[in-house]
Amino acid sequence: MGPRLAEKLADYGITHIEDLLFHLPLRYQDRTRITPIAAARDGMDVVVQGEVRAADVVFGRRRSLVARIQDSTGTLTLRFFHFSAAQRNNLSVGSELRCFGQVRRGSSGLEMYHPEYRLLRDGDEPVEETLTPIYPTTTGIGQAQWRSLCEQAVKILEREAVTELLPPTQRYPFGLANALRYLHQPPPDAPQDTLRDGEHPAQLRLALEELVAHNLSLQRLRERQQQDGAPALQGQAGLLEDFLGRLAFTPTAAQERVLAEIRADLAKPVPMLRLVQGDVGSGKTLVAAGAALQAIGSGFQVALMAPTELLAEQHWRCFSEWFEPLGIGMEWLSGRTKGKARARALARIAEGEAALAIGTHALFQDDVAFDRLGLVIVDEQHRFGVHQRLALTEKAAPGHGRPHQLVMTATPIPRTLSMVAYADLDCSVIDELPPGRQPVSTTLLDAGRRDAVIGRVGAACREGRQAYWVCTLIEESDALQAQAAEATAAELQQALPDLRIGLIHGRMKGPDKEAVMAAFKAGDLSLLVATTVIEVGVDVPNASLMIIENPERLGLAQLHQLRGRVGRGSTQSHCVLLYQAPLSANGKERLTAMRESTDGFYIAEKDLQLRGPGEVLGTRQTGLMEFRVAELPAHEHMLEDVAEVAGLVRAQHPENIDALIQRWAGSAAQYAKV
């Protein structure tokens, strides 16, 4: 092949013949049979063959080339809106044509727009012998070229077998070579429905291998990190007890259990890699504080990283209250920390005066150096990619290996997903809410009732309750979101002139946001108009009412997070989802799930069904869940087998691990590199 094609293929990560074999079709067309014109129906993709009876350029609303073909059963109209002079000359009356395309019912009976077609010299030319694969492609390489390339690769495969890297398993009888051949060239009788659902044994065989490769690469990532060792953090006698003794509440049994798991990990000279899952409001912050104290008590530093400035600020307030009485030095670092303040923060972190550094992703920028970093805590994990998480652990204390890692996620992750996405982490679950919480009751209301809702919010606030009014916009732009929230706040203030109404959005400066949150927390504001910046972590227990406008625009996980801002105190809380009618079927299903359940795990499972794993984990950009063959949750049923086969490879054929990871590099290489 020429260098230009080679270059284009390299863009797809294809540099070897074997890579082509693993460039698998997205779907198939059946061009193995000729359909009599009379048997073609609206919407069908068919091959038809007939004699051209007429061909003319027609000047209607748009100039088009219209031809009519006829077989022994009927006639069909072909329409081309873009055509060349050569095309026009080709379609001469009397010539024999074979076309492939979708049949539609049009003004002149059955029609095909822009069919693929071929002039036949001899009417008996054979049809395709296999289903026609449609390959994933962007630009530069057309379907015909993909087909020819993959066809050649399959021919070479016949001569030089592709290396089997998995041990044979009875449950997946297809060999690798057969599976690949089958998927590039399925026989005419292949079950198209099964292929479409990704459930064909040939697909399952490849999905198994891909998931095994992914699992092995995560395991390897884990081993590499653990190889480096970590400081054994034994803690300081009495420090934790002192802290817990000052709290206004006692930890729940679940918090105690998870904290004990973490403390045992920290005491070992191997980096902890632990994920703490706990529904919103389950009290993850307290567990993080306990872990931090053990590291600080051992003379090491702790970095606590949150995905948004607002959440980091809230942690700052919470930890200041908890840790200042204990005489623990703290430092703040976000993207907005500039100039002298930044220099001072960096110095205090580098010299170890700050035992706890709290901030956003600014904490893992290159110029941030720690004196003795022993523990990294990442809150709300699903917002960070694996790489960001790992960047912090690179900031190790010289001579002490890597810091321990504690990852906390507010979105409970369905077990299946966490088996795949977090195979490199151990998992603890806080499966209990603090006592006295009452589930939030949720109502769906048509936006037509907005005025009535405003009235009810006013009445509730006058009775001393506090409420959030959440404005959502699909636009990613902070500026537009801010504008919308400002307009809503002004409108609500006009409708409810006697209420003290605050506003918070992502465009506000740190101290301004801080001031508004503090005023709301202190009860000086009774209604807080907000964008989805309050989605994560904001904690004002007295707020017991939340209105979410246009909830149909948000994913389930996000709605659950938002709703989790209320129901934190002991009063009954309410959430009103003020939707724009009419709802799509999917939208209706999502909002109904919200009304019916407050269980984060149930909602996460639903979210996975409705949106797919990339969205659920918020990692589409990081490529975490971009598999080529495997699909979740469709292939969920294979995950036990994946763990078993990965174990077999590790035990019996460790020499195959590199090759497996390499082969499926598209989905796994980024882990292997770390």
Identify residues 81-120 at the interface with ligand ADP (CB under 6 A): none
3-class state of residue 5 by DSSP? helix
3-class state of residue 585 by DSSP? helix
**Binder of ligand ADP out of 50, 231, 283, 551 (CB under 6 A):** 283
Q: Are 624 and 418 in contact (CB under 8 A)?
A: no
**Binder of ligand ADP out of 49, 185, 285, 544 (CB under 6 A):** 285
| DSSP run (H or E) holding 494 | helix 478-495
Q: Are 536 and 410 in contact (CB under 8 A)?
A: yes
Q: What is the C-alpha to C-alpha distance for residues 248 and 171, in angstroms, rounded to an integer?
A: 56
Residue 239's CB is within 10 A of a number of other CB atoms, namely: 17
Q: What is the C-alpha to C-alpha distance for residues 312 and 87, in angstroms, rounded to an integer?
A: 64
- The residue nearest Mg ion at its CB is 537
Cα 142 from chain centroid (whole Å):
29
Identify what 251 binds: ligand ADP, Mg ion, none; CB under 5 to 8 Å per kind. Answer: ligand ADP
Token pair for residue 503?
């506003």
Does residue number 541 form part of the binding site for ligand ADP (CB under 6 A)? yes
Does residue number 281 form part of the binding site for Mg ion (CB under 5 A)? no
**How far apart are CB 536 and Mg ion at their closest, in Å?**
7
Stretch of 4-12, 280-288, 395-403, 580-588 lying at the interface with ligand ADP (CB under 6 A): 280-288
Q: For residues 251 and 352, which CB has a smaller minimum distance to ligand ADP in the complex?
A: 251
Q: Are 560 and 280 in contact (CB under 8 A)?
A: yes
What b/e readout covers 254-288, taking b as 16+ CB neighbours within 10 angstroms? bbebbbebbbebbeeebbbbbbbbbbbbbbbbbbb
Stretch of 6-14, 244-252, 454-462, 507-515 lying at the interface with ligand ADP (CB under 6 A): 244-252
Q: For residues 282 and 301, which CB has a smaller minimum distance to Mg ion in the complex?
A: 282
**Binder of ligand ADP out of 275, 286, 354, 457 (CB under 6 A):** 286
Q: For residues 101 and 278, which CB has a smaller minimum distance to ligand ADP in the complex?
A: 278
How far is the first Cα of the chain from the last one, in angstroms, to the nearest whole number? 34
Half-sphere exposure of 634 toward its Cβ, with a 13 Å CA cutoff? 17
**Binder of ligand ADP out of 293, 305, 373, 410 (CB under 6 A):** 410
**How far apart are CB 379 and Mg ion at their closest, in Å?**
6
Residue 196's CB is within 10 A of a number of other CB atoms, namely: 11
State the alpha helices, DSSP H only, in 544-652: 556-563, 585-596, 600-611, 613-617, 639-652
Does residue number 278 form part of the binding site for ligand ADP (CB under 6 A)? yes
Measured in residues, the chain has a length of 674
Identify what 278 binds: ligand ADP, Mg ion, none; CB under 5 to 8 Å per kind. Answer: ligand ADP
Q: For residues 458 and 537, which CB has a smaller minimum distance to Mg ion in the complex?
A: 537
Identify residues 246-265 at the interface with ligand ADP (CB under 6 A): 249, 251-252, 255
Half-sphere exposure of 528 toward its Cβ, with a 13 Å CA cutoff? 32
Q: For residues 35 and 252, which CB has a smaller minimum distance to ligand ADP in the complex?
A: 252
Does residue number 280 form part of the binding site for ligand ADP (CB under 6 A)? yes
* Range 506-512 contact pairs with CB under 8 angstroms and sequence separation of 24 or more: 506/478, 506/481, 506/482, 506/531, 506/533, 507/478, 507/479, 507/481, 507/482, 508/482, 509/336, 510/309, 510/313, 510/334, 510/336
**How far apart are CB 261 and ligand ADP at their closest, in Å?**
16
Q: Are 292 and 445 in contact (CB under 8 A)?
A: no
**How far apart are CB 227 and Mg ion at their closest, in Å?**
32
**How far apart are CB 509 and Mg ion at their closest, in Å?**
23
Nearest Cα neighbor of 605 from 643, 639, 636 is 636
**How far apart are CB 382 and Mg ion at their closest, in Å?**
12
Q: For residues 337 and 405, which CB has a smaller minimum distance to ligand ADP in the complex?
A: 405
Q: What is the C-alpha to C-alpha distance for residues 379 and 285, in angstroms, rounded to an integer?
A: 9
Helix axes 284-297, 309-323, angle to 10 degrees: 60
Identify what 283 binds: ligand ADP, Mg ion, none; CB under 5 to 8 Å per kind. Answer: ligand ADP
Q: What is the C-alpha to C-alpha distance for residues 397 and 124, in angstroms, rounded to an integer?
A: 76
Identify what 541 binds: Mg ion, ligand ADP, none; CB under 5 to 8 Å per kind. Answer: ligand ADP
**How far apart are CB 613 and ligand ADP at their closest, in Å?**
23
Q: For residues 279 and 607, which CB has a smaller minimum distance to ligand ADP in the complex?
A: 279
**How far apart are CB 282 and ligand ADP at their closest, in Å?**
4
**Is the omega angle on the peptide bond into residue 633 within 30 degrees of 0, that is, cis?**
yes
Residues 6+ apart with CB under 8 A from 433: 252, 279, 281, 282, 283
**How far apart are CB 389 and Mg ion at their closest, in Å?**
17
Size of residue set near ligand ADP by CB under 6 A? 18
Q: What is the C-alpha to C-alpha distance for residues 214 and 219, in angstroms, rounded to an integer?
A: 9
Does residue number 284 form part of the binding site for ligand ADP (CB under 6 A)? yes
Q: For residues 49 and 252, which CB has a smaller minimum distance to ligand ADP in the complex?
A: 252
Q: For residues 315 and 395, which CB has a smaller minimum distance to ligand ADP in the complex?
A: 315
Identify what 568 binds: ligand ADP, Mg ion, none; CB under 5 to 8 Å per kind. Answer: ligand ADP
Identify what 111 binds: Mg ion, ligand ADP, none; CB under 5 to 8 Å per kind. Answer: none
**How far apart are CB 470 and ligand ADP at their closest, in Å?**
17
Does residue number 283 form part of the binding site for Mg ion (CB under 5 A)? no
Q: For residues 284 and 395, which CB has a smaller minimum distance to ligand ADP in the complex?
A: 284
**How far apart are CB 220 and ligand ADP at their closest, in Å?**
31
Q: For residues 67 and 407, which CB has a smaller minimum distance to ligand ADP in the complex?
A: 407
Q: Which residue has the tokens 């990442």?
A: 378
Cβ burial, residue 50 (10 Å; 0-12/13-18/19+): buried
3-class state of residue 49 by DSSP? strand
Stretch of 101-109, 212-220, 276-284, 493-501 lying at the interface with ligand ADP (CB under 6 A): 276-284
Size of residue set near Mg ion by CB under 5 A? 1
Q: Give me the 501-540 binding string for Mg ion, x by CB under 5 A, dash otherwise.
A: ------------------------------------x---
State the alpha helices, DSSP H only, in 160-235: 176-184, 192-196, 201-227
Does residue number 535 form part of the binding site for ligand ADP (CB under 6 A)? no
**How far apart are CB 314 and Mg ion at their closest, in Å?**
8
Cβ burial, residue 92 (10 Å; 0-12/13-18/19+): exposed
Q: For residues 271 and 283, which CB has a smaller minimum distance to ligand ADP in the complex?
A: 283
Q: Give me the 183-222 binding string for ligand ADP, x by CB under 6 A, dash otherwise.
A: ----------------------------------------
Stretch of 59-67, 108-116, 515-523, 537-545 lying at the interface with ligand ADP (CB under 6 A): 537-545
Residues 6+ apart with CB under 8 A from 444: 577, 579, 591, 592, 595
The residues binding Mg ion (CB under 5 A) are 537
The residues binding ligand ADP (CB under 6 A) are 249, 251-252, 255, 278, 280-286, 410, 434, 537, 539, 541, 568
